[in-house]
Homo-oligomer: A and B are copies of this chain.
Amino acid sequence: MRSKDELKQEAIFKATIKLVNKIGFVSSSVAKIAKEANVSPATIYIYYKNKEDLLITTYAEIKKKMSVALLKNFDDSKPFRDILFVFWKNGFEFVAKNRELYMYAEQFANSPYSENVDHKELEKHFEPMIKVLQNGIEQKVIKDVSFEILATFIFYPIMIMSNSKISKALELNEKNIETGFQLGWDAIKL
C-alpha cells in the first residue's frame, strides 16, 4: 500500500493558510484549498474528517507554533521585567516572520468554528506565561489584579499593534516596539 505522504499534508496545511490570507475565511472552500495544494478535494478528507476539522487542526497547529516561539530564550532566572520583554519581542518577531500564520489565527478566532475548539487544551501551551505573571504578583512587582486584565495590557497589545490595519499606520520598528512595552509595563507594574 501507499504510505501517507507527509508532503501532501504539509501542502494542505500551507494551502489552507495561504488561501485564507488571500481570499478570506468565508470564501475559502474545500475545493479551492485543494486546488491551491495541488491535490484532489477527496484527498483532504483522508487527512481531515471534514472542513471544520481541517480549519480547527490548522488553528491548533499555529497556536502551538506561537507558544513555542513566545517561549524562545525563556530564562526563569532573569529579572522579571526582562522575562516579559522577551515574551513581548518574541511576539512581534513571530508575527513579523509569520504574518500568514498570525492572520489565519486572527480570522479563525473570530469565526464560529472557534467555539468548537478545545481552548483549555491549547491554553496549556501558554501556562509558563501565566506562571510568570503569578510570580510577579507574589513578588509584589506587578499589580494584584486578575490574569485577564494583566494580559489585556501586556500580551494582547502585541496582537493589536500587529494588526494589519493599525500596523500600516504604526511603523513597527525597534523603537515603537520598545515604547509599546514601556506603556504595557507602566500599566501593570506596582
Q: Which residues of A contact B (CB under 8 A)?
A: 1, 23-27, 40, 106-107, 109-112, 119, 143, 145-146, 148-150, 152-153, 156-157, 160-161, 165-166, 169-170, 176, 179-180, 183-184, 186-189
Task: Please name all residues of chain B whose beta carbon is closer than 8 Å to the beta carbon of A109 when the two chains form the complex.
Answer: 110
Contact of A170 among B26, B149, B180 (CB under 8 A): B149
CA distance A31 to B176 in the complex (A): 47
Q: Is the CB of A148 within 8 A of B170?
A: yes
Query: How many of these chains are in the complex?
Result: 4
**Minimum Cβ distance to chain B for residue A176 (Å):** 7
**Is the beta-carbon distance between A149 and B161 smaller than 8 angstroms?**
yes
Contact of A145 among B107, B150, B179 (CB under 8 A): B179
A1 vs B40: C-alpha distance in the bound complex, in angstroms? Answer: 10
* Cβ–Cβ contact B111 & A146, under 8 A: no
Question: Known interface pairs A26-B112, A111-B25, A112-B24. Does A152 touch B157 (Cβ–Cβ under 8 Å)?
Answer: yes
**Docked pose: A40 CA to B2 CA in angstroms:** 13
Task: Check A112 against B187 for contact (C-beta < 8 Å).
Answer: no
A111 touches B149 (CB 8 A): no
Rounded to whole Å, the gap between the CB of A3 and the closest CB of chain B is 14
Residues of B within 8 A of A179 (CB): 145, 149
| Contact partner, A183, options B110, B111, B149, B170, Cβ 8 Å | B149
Q: How far is B153's CA from A186's CA once the two chains are assembled, in angstroms?
A: 11
